[in-house]
Structure 1
Amino acid sequence: MTTLSRFTNLAAALAAASLLAACSEPATDVNTAEPAKTQTEEAQQTLKLTEVNPRLGEYIKTLSSDEFQGRAPATKGEELTVAYLEDNFRRIGLKAIDGDSYKQPVSLVQIDPKEVSAMALSGDNVPAQFAYRDEMTAWTKQVTEQVEVKDSDMVFVGYGIVAPEYGWNDYEGLDVKGKTVVMFVNDPGFATQDPKLFNGNAMTYYGRWTYKYEEAARQGAAMALIIHETDAASYGWGVVAHGSPIKFDLINENKNADLAKVEGWITTESAEKLFANVGTDLATMHKKALEKDFAPVPLNTKASITVKNNLRELTSSNVVGYIEGSKYPDEYVLYMAHWDHLGMDFSNPTNKVFNGAQDNASGTGGLLALAEYFTQQPQPERSVVFVAVTAEERGLLGSAWYAANPVFPLEKTVVGINMDVMNVYGPMKDMVIVGLGNNNAEDILIKYTKQQGRYAVREHNPEAGIAYRSDHFNLSKKGVPILYAKGGNDHFEKGADWGKAQRAEFNKCCYHKVNDEYDDNWDLRGAQQDLFLFYQVGNELANSRSWPNWNEGNEFRALRDASEAQRTARCVRGSA
């Protein structure tokens, strides 16, 4: 039992961050005496005022062409992509980071499990084993040819969460060194739908499987297993069990020896068998995991498993350019998009290229368009950085490398703005802000959204944890406030139902398929609309003294607060 209620917010009572400056560039004049405009006329006027770069379509079309071979890291496609980005960064006048080079090398390792044994079990009333992929799935991120977990005691640890700001510690009083921890996916807020518990229906990072493996490793577990439940995970068993078993990771000195030897999932049916061995069931354990006096439950079962790997080291590159600030060059507004996609499908006899036009040539093209627009405006007081990261499709690895090895200090990074899968369906009334309510940089974005005659909304499925599934998340984990937003479904001219239908069709026919190709009939007015918003937000912050922060109670607030002292020593160009 924890010493304080598990439902108590233990975050330190720090002074709330001051509101961001309300002043901004004035909106373009509109004759208010004119008759009321139709929706079509209003949309046309808005777009006339907000076009950023007529070359946007050209950038997207080139990056997603067959010539670029699907832009997989460490391939000919990467060579072409990185060269194209460097050439354009140089042409538009961005400063390079290493002589005349814009490349930040990223060291990757491919871990291909050539053999995964069944998970052998020993206990009074448990099956002899769980079959690989049918009843469990497992892998290792340790960079070694073989790992073995043998006769490891299994223990149920609730949600596997240690969250001091919520007064929550599922590992309280437990030593799990060498043991196998079993836990639920998502977090207690989702389980209860209580808006006062964690973040209610909206997933916090504590609900993500990545966090649960990280925490298990910090606790010293040998193996970490998450119980798969479709609603809580937001995807079916097939996604975790039957996707590619090949893992990618960053190369580091300890070869991930500090991670659990084995990570994985088990089915709900497998969990029921483990719980039955100690006289209980899944439903009862769900209730128990939410109790104030929850204590971990030994499962009276030992687990053994062996994973054998083929290893391959790879080198890829992030591409980084910047505009140096005129007055505060050591403070940075950062824009980010991932340039990579899935490469080639050599088994396809007719269409072998994963072109990745929407995902994410659109975001990378948007990054180029926005950078070019910035270079045509007055020099900002703070520096503005443009980062095209690699290996997002391999697990957000390029952004993780940048976060671990930042070209520019993260404690002096004002905000990060991520662009991933831009709107190609025309002007939208709604601006979807992923994780709306997390930080006060959103106030600026919402202000400019309203100036376009639009409105801000949260993503429709916050329980799915979308806020933790794109590159901006790696900046979040370092405390940098981020914005991840895009035009939604409520089309100015065709309505919300039409917009929803376009998104649904893309998800069905094109997402991560060879059909994600450039279409000359795309309506990029909406992307231009969004890019101008991103420009306005970044430009205001680049010419202000504001330092956005995460809102009170957010899991990343303490990280930002901890770096506050490092923002006090500021270089002011021209000062004594």
Structure 2
Amino acid sequence: MRYTFLSLLLACQLLSAQTEEELLKHFHSITANEVFAYAKTLSEPEYDGRLAGSPGYTKSAEWVTAHLKKWEIQPGYGNSYFKHFPQDYTTVKSAGRLSATLIDIKGNAIEKKYSFPEHYYPGSNSASGQVEAEVVYVGYGITAPKHQYDDYKNVDVSGKIVMIETRHPKLKNASEWNDWVDYAGSSIKLSNAVKHGALGVLYISKLASPGMKYHKELIYCHIDEKLAEELFFARQLNYKKVKEELKEKNKPQSISLKHVVSIAADTEYHPDGSYANVIGIIPGSDPKLKDEVIMVGAHLDGQGNLGELFPGALDNASGVADIMAAARALSNLPAPKRTIAFFFIGAEEKGLLGALEYANDPLFLKDKTVCYINLDMVGNGAGLYFGGGQSFPDIFTHFEKANEQYIHRPLKTNYLNRAYKGRPRTDGMALSQHGFRALSVHCTDRVKKLYYHHPADTPETLVPEIMEDVSKWLYLGLYSLANAESIDLNEKLKAE
């Protein structure tokens, strides 16, 4: 084992002065218990799901920075680890209620009551109160004059509840996300429903979604596709067929379903909340290289509490915990040549807001940022994935060799997909679209069941052993990269 680790030191150029013994000591100090404990703490009710804007999020950010301070990792913003931004939020006091009076084609009425979380989630930013009205299916819920497309054409939704799909049409002249960005966002769809006089929305996507904007006159919830199927079936209509026609024909398929639906929400809106991005740094020591920065980050916020806690253990206490353990171990080593920055991002679940704020006003110059490595949901799996490694092999090689020599996990990588035109789904993608060299770390070969934006996303669904190895991998790879004599940052393109 000693020979193997010494080979790693030589191959990765980890250090000249640092002894193998000390490097190995701090490597082994990272344990599954440590990493799991960080994730478990962040998932506790004390932090109330870490909703950006809320006191629970602020408390979680303070908990992280207390550790950074204890480890003598320097604050990124002068004397502070924080950069604050205003952010409204909504407290959901209970799961609310959802029921329906189904009217079949013969006019018979059937009373139905639905349950959380099986059938629906309350809207994270719903207005408080109750609405009871006829439900109208309006497809994508889009009005886009630019593309001569309108799901509300020839249907009256005034005073009614509309049922809306996610996504957008794929018209030949307007197929990419950028063509629809002004019309297809979930918040825009809610605004469009209000504009057309709707009083409520059934959004066909049973996910906690804090990024949807608050409208004081609109009550909404998220429903499972099976519930949508039931509403259609009661009218002897085939929901899957209608949805497929909506997708294939790219023409509105809106229809009044005649059922009367009741949505009740118990919420309190807070317009004056705030959140913070958190950055801690280990400054570089080399006079020529210290201004070059390697950033590693994970979003700290979660989905909050929808009348039941959404712990957000995998998404994304896991990524935060992985970085924290690596940061603690790195803080014990002599300063690397380049600066290493640990970025705990706020308001990802609100629409990548923290990453976008950083992109617009970065702490470190873009041309001095060697790369940003994003961790999101890195706590369930048996293998490792380094997104974008083939595009930047001079970066990837440090992580590849560390894994080959000491971690011994299956490792995959790929080229960055520069042709991707869809909506950015991660902080890394948001930064990439703003010109940063953004890479990512994931797990492969899932070991436990995934609960995405679900109250069952608890610490029990995490795999501590993979989290330990991710942290150790980061520890080795980041330190090796930060001490490299030179780094070729010319992007390698995938051969067609």
- TM-score per shorter chain, which class? 0.5 to 0.7
CA 311–50 in structure 1, closer or farther in 2 if over 3 Å, else same: closer
Equivalent pair of 1:333/1:385 in contact (CA under 8 Å): yes
Describe the shift of the 1:108–1:537 C-alpha distance in structure 2 as closer, same or farther (beyond 3 A). Answer: same
**Which is worse superposed, 94-103 or 435-444?**
435-444
Partner of 2:48: 69
- Conserved 8 A contact 2:14-2:479: no
Matched with 1:552 is 493
Q: Which residue of 1 aligns with 2:459?
A: 518
TM-score with structure 2 length normalisation? 0.60
Of the three residues 394, 403, 410, the one matched with 1:449 is: 403
Q: Give a deviation string over 1:273-328, Cα, whole Å, max 9, x none.
A: 6669xxxxxxxxxxxxxxxxxxxxxxxxxxxxxxxxx9946421111111111123
Percent identity, aligned pairs only?
23
Q: Aligned letter for 2:408?
A: G
SS of the equivalent of 2:75 reads coil
Structure 2 Cα separation of the partners of residues 356 and 246 of structure 1: 15
- Cα deviation for residue 84 of structure 1 reads 0.4
1:319 to 272, 275, 278: 278
- Please state how far the C-alpha of 1:465 moved relative to its aligned partner: 9.3
Task: Work out whether 1:402 is the aligned partner of 2:406.
Answer: no
Aligned match of 1:386 in 338, 342, 354? 342
Deviation at 1:106, TM superposition (A): 2.4
1:419-434, aligned counterparts within 5 Å?
419-424=375-380, 428=382, 430-434=383-387
Q: Which amino acid aligns with 2:147?
A: M
Alpha-carbon spacing, 1:453–1:370, altered in 2? closer, same or farther (3 Å): closer
Partner of 1:202: none
CA-CA distance at 1:432 after TM superposition: 2.2
Q: Which aligned pairs between 1:141-540 and structure 2 lie closer than 5 A?
A: 152=145, 154-155=147-148, 184=170, 209=177, 211-214=178-181, 238-239=204-205, 247=212, 269-270=245-246, 312=271, 314-327=273-286, 328-346=289-307, 352-424=308-380, 428=382, 430-434=383-387, 437-440=390-393, 441-451=395-405, 452-457=407-412, 468-489=424-445, 500=446, 502-503=447-448, 505=449, 507=450, 510-519=451-460, 523-540=463-480
* Residue identity matched to 1:336: G
1:320 counterpart SS class: strand
**CA distance in 2: counterparts of 1:80 and 1:311, whole angstroms:** 17
**Contact 1:94-1:323 at 8 Å conserved across structures:** yes
Residues 134, 541 of structure 1: CA spacing in aligned structure 2 closer, same or farther, 3 A cutoff?
same
Please name the residue that 1:561 is paired with.
none
SS of the equivalent of 2:367 reads: helix
Is the contact made by 1:336 and 1:416 (CA closer than 8 Å) also made in structure 2?
yes
Q: In 2 relative to 1, CA 207–98 (structure 1 residues): closer, same or farther, beyond 3 Å?
A: same
Counterpart CA distance in 2 for 1:245 and 1:336 is 21
Which residue of 2 is the match for residue 24 of structure 1?
Answer: 12
Question: How many residues get paired?
Answer: 352
8 A contact 1:417–1:484 mirrored in 2: yes
Give CA-to-partner distance per residue, 1:328-379, whole Å, 9 cap, x none: 3321000101111111121xxxxx2111112111111122111111111110
Per the TM alignment, residue 183 of structure 1 is displaced from its structure 2 partner at its CA by 5.4
Q: Deviations over 1:127-152 (max 9, x none)?
A: xxxx96542224xxxxxxxxxx7x93
Please report how far the alpha carbon of residue 267 of structure 1 lies from its aligned counterpart in structure 2 after TM superposition.
5.5
CA 1:101–1:243: 2 relative to 1, 3 Å:
closer
Instruction: Name the aligned partner's letter for residue 105 of structure 1.
Output: H
**Uncovered stretches (5+) of structure 1, i.e. residues with no partner:** 1-21, 28-46, 115-130, 139-148, 157-181, 189-205, 224-236, 250-265, 277-309, 347-351, 490-499, 555-576
State yes or no: 1:53 paired with 2:30: yes
Secondary structure of 1:137's aligned partner:
coil
Conserved 8 A contact 1:434-1:466: no
**Counterpart of 1:74 in structure 2: which amino acid?**
G
In structure 1, what is the Cα distance between the partners aligned to 2:373 and 2:475? 10
Instruction: Letter of the 1:317 partner, please give it.
Output: A
Aligned residue number for residue 135 of structure 1: 139
Structure 1 vs Structure 2 CA RMSD? 4.3
In structure 2, relative to structure 1, the CA distance for the partners of 1:214 and 1:536 (3 Å cut) is farther
Post-superposition shift, 1:435? Answer: 5.0
Letter in 1 for 2:458: E
What do residues 462-517 of structure 1 show as CA deviations (whole Å, max 9, x unaligned)?
Answer: 9999994221112212332232123322xxxxxxxxxx4x34x2x2xx32111222
2:157 aligned partner: none
Q: Give SS of 1:400's match.
A: helix
Rounded to whole Å, the distance in 2 between the matches of 1:311 and 1:457 is: 44
Residues 205-244 of structure 1, C-alpha deviation per residue, up to 9 Å, x if partnerless?
Answer: x9863x4445999xxxx99xxxxxxxxxxxxx9339x975
- Aligned amino acid, residue 411 of structure 2: A
1:88 and 1:486 mapped to 2: Cα distance?
Answer: 24
- Alpha carbons 1:419, 1:485 under 8 Å: kept: yes
Contact 2:293 2:368 in 1 (8 A): yes
Q: 1:52 to 1:476 in 2, by over 3 A?
A: farther
Q: Is contact 2:58-2:276 (8 Å) kept?
A: no
With normalisation by structure 1, the TM-score equals 0.52
1:143-183 CA distance string (max 9 Å, x none): xxxxxx7x936359xxxxxxxxxxxxxxxxxxxxxxxxx85
The match for 2:101 is none
- What is the CA–CA distance in structure 1 between the aligned matches of 2:467 and 2:176, rounded to whole Å? 30
Inter-partner Cα distance in structure 2 for 1:137 and 1:473: 26
Give secondary structure in 1 for the equivalent of 2:456: coil
User: Does the 8 A contact of 2:208 with 2:453 survive in 1?
Assistant: no
